[in-house]
Amino acid sequence: MNEKKIIKEMVEQIPVPRQKIIDAIHSGTKRSPFYSKRKRGQIRLSIGLIAAFALFFASGFINPTIGRAFAQLPWIGHFYARNGDSLGEMMLEEGKTQALNLTETKNGINVTVNDAYYEGDILSFTGTVTGDIPNLNKENELSLEIAEQKIAVSEGTAFEEIKNGYKFQIHQRLSSEQIPDASTFLLEITTINGVKGPWTFSIPLKQSKGEKIDVDKTLDFGVDGLKYQLVSLNPSEKISTLDVQINQSKTDATIEGMKILDEEGNDLLFSKNSQLLDNGNQRLQLKELPKKNTKYTFEAVYEQNEYSKLISLEDKQTLLTSSFDPLSFQLLNSKVENGKAVITYQVKHAPKKSAFVHNLGYCLRISTKDYHAISDNNTDASDNASQTSSQVKVIDGEKGIYQNTFDLTEKEQLTTAALNELYFSVKFDEGITETQTVKASVIFYQ
């Protein structure tokens, strides 16, 4: 029985929605709920979440001996499938991962790196931890602290408990501007469940990739102060990447949910997760290189955040407005009694959002007059000088009249404040304003 058949039979016995995972990979929308958002250092995951771990990676190293190695370690394919790493699983079946079987022992704990792959800007390492592993917080957890590397950032890990330890899978993305064809990568695990090592592995990996393509084109989204520069394409066998430079004058604005659509509406993006590079650029993963003489449309949601000015709770004349949205607020009545502030106000030009009323309980603020000065210098003090959590009551939905009740006793500096000592402000953000979809089209090259 050949290796592919062994893998196929193993996978078929696993209760994993294979086609849904593959479809999600191609749509680029499925990701792990405990993804680490490019934080370096400690990574800790619970076994109860492991089945939901969805990763989008592939490898490009062709190892002629992988079939024999995998026949000896069939659990790797099973583990990839369990983790939702469908691409890693398929690359393993194609013989495009590297068998390593490297072991280090420190302080009674054995770490073995069995398998690795390198494709595009992605590094993946799979192995086991066995031996005298302390029980972490009386839970069956594996806590790995990964040392920072100059060119790679840990993106996440998954694990599964075994008889005398754990299986693990560590994923990293390159943060360097250059993506080498081949390099020796350092994997250093400094601490395992509180036990210090380090366990260090120097792992040579290579991939098949093309030469970098300079793009040097600027997208016009029609937004003042936003410059989105396409810098270069990095071709690779499975995952090509696009480096972009984003400059915007508004510090409280963000671009979310980016899509790169071809003329048929297919999204070119392989993953929604961008990687911050050492040079300040962002790197996007692509399913394939853009085609020549083809128009692609970049589509995203442009979100802005802005605080209104502060007005006294006794001020019934001033209209609080935003510079980027027609939404407005006007106080109608305010009172303070029994440690609570109750404000009634009218909203005009409210967006048609199902969560609008709910979000009113978090976007309005009661504070002291010197709140902003305090917050600029002392975060702890500013927290005690303002209250943003409140209970919302609809007074007249058609007229846009609402009432919010703030518990002042939760904040030290507000507990004894009188009505004339308190101020009102609004945070205009995506929770209560209209979201703005922005688009820009480009032909990458002729």
Supply the pLDDT for residue 252.
74
Model confidence band, residue 157 (pLDDT cutoffs 50, 70, 90): confident
Supply the pLDDT for residue 33.
25
Which of 82-91, 95-104, 325-334 shows the lowest mean pLDDT across its residues?
Answer: 82-91
| Whether pLDDT at 388 is above 60 | yes
Q: What's the mean pLDDT in 403-430? A: 93
Q: What's the mean pLDDT in 371-391? A: 70
Q: Residue 277 corresponds to which amino acid?
A: L
E-only strand ranges, 193-293: 195-206, 213-219, 226-234, 240-248, 253-261, 275-276, 282-286
| Whether pLDDT at 207 is above 70 | yes
Closest CA to 382 of 303, 310, 306, 304: 310
Question: What tens digit of pLDDT does each residue of 10-66 get?
Answer: 333 333 333 333 343 333 333 332 233 333 333 333 332 232 233 333 333 323 333
Higher pLDDT, 74 or 249: 249
Q: What's the mean pLDDT in 255-262? A: 91
Q: Report the percentage of the chain scoring pLDDT > 70.
A: 80
Are 297 and 439 in contact, with CB atoms under 8 Å apart?
yes
Supply the pLDDT for residue 373.
53
Report which secondary-structure segment, H or E, holds 12.
helix 3-12
Which of 323-337, 342-356, 372-386, 426-440 shows the lowest mean pLDDT across its residues?
Answer: 372-386
Closest CA to 144 of 174, 104, 188: 188
Supply the pLDDT for residue 30.
32
| Whether pLDDT at 375 is above 70 | no
Question: What tens digit of pLDDT does each residue of 297-314 get?
Answer: 999 988 888 889 999 999
Q: Report the percentage of the chain scoring pLDDT > 90.
A: 52
Question: What tens digit of pLDDT does each residue of 136-150 get?
Answer: 766 778 889 999 888
Are 236 and 242 in contact, with CB atoms under 8 Å apart?
no
Supply the pLDDT for residue 203.
94
Supply the pLDDT for residue 96.
81
Q: Report the C-alpha gap between 258 and 246 in whole angstroms.
A: 13
Higher pLDDT, 346 or 436: 346
Higher pLDDT, 326 or 435: 326
Model confidence band, residue 94 (pLDDT cutoffs 50, 70, 90): confident
Are 55 and 32 in contact, with CB atoms under 8 Å apart?
yes
What mean pLDDT value characterizes the chain?
81
Model confidence band, residue 270 (pLDDT cutoffs 50, 70, 90): confident
Model confidence band, residue 317 (pLDDT cutoffs 50, 70, 90): very high
| Whether pLDDT at 325 is above 80 | yes
Higher pLDDT, 60 or 420: 420
Q: What's the mean pLDDT in 398-409? A: 96
Q: What's the mean pLDDT in 376-395? A: 78
Q: What's the mean pLDDT in 98-110? A: 95
Are 207 and 181 in contact, with CB atoms under 8 Å apart?
yes
Supply the pLDDT for residue 73.
57
- Sign, CA dihedral 211-216-221-227, equals positive
Provide Rg for the chain, Cα atoms: 27
Higher pLDDT, 395 or 207: 395
Question: What tens digit of pLDDT does each residue of 18-30 get?
Answer: 333 334 333 333 3
Supply the pLDDT for residue 372.
64
Supply the pLDDT for residue 348.
96
| Whether pLDDT at 356 is above 60 | yes
Supply the pLDDT for residue 171.
87
| Whether pLDDT at 374 is above 60 | no
